[in-house]
Amino acid sequence: MSSKHGQLSTELLIIIGLMLLLLVPLLYYAYNRANIAKEDIGVQKAEFAAERLARLADSIGYLGGTSMIIDEIEIPPGVKSVSISENKHDIVFDMDTSTGIKQIVKSSAFSIRDSGVGTIKREGSYQVKIQALSDFEGEEQIEMGLE
């Protein structure tokens, strides 16, 4: 009688072991997919923020004069820096992703002057002031800085 109980407990341990053998890789896969999904959401939020800044710069540029707006943007986790490109028309977000550094670039029709946006180096909510400036040649420029 005692050998049957021993056999039953051994079979139960084998079944539990096989279940764990199948469950651990499944949990590992689910964990990795969750991290990838979180990273993708961060990239989408950064694209939205860059697009919003570019569209606001265009709107203020088309209004001209002394137009100005203050808007709050959310910088998601993973953003290492925000800058204005050398051609002065592109807003660049550098993101650290699992595949390396990813640049998100959105363009504006107007020349943008950085007056503080380049100091954004981490996640959070930022008040960004965007205002139109007229230069001596009559060309509209946009000044973008933190409020």
Global confidence as pTM = 0.79
Residue with tokens 């209004």: 63
pLDDT in tens, 65-101: 889 999 999 999 999 999 999 999 999 999 999 889 9
Distance CA(143)–CA(130), nearest Å, equals 6
The tokens describing 44, both together, are 């989408």
Helix ranges restricted to H, the chain: 2-63
99: containing domain: 2-146
pLDDT band, very low/low/confident/very high, at 147 (cuts 50, 70, 90): confident
CB 77 within 8 A of CB 123: yes
Length of the chain: 147
Q: Please state the domain count of the chain.
A: 1
pLDDT in tens, 57-72: 999 999 988 899 999 9
Distance CA(10)–CA(4), nearest Å, equals 10
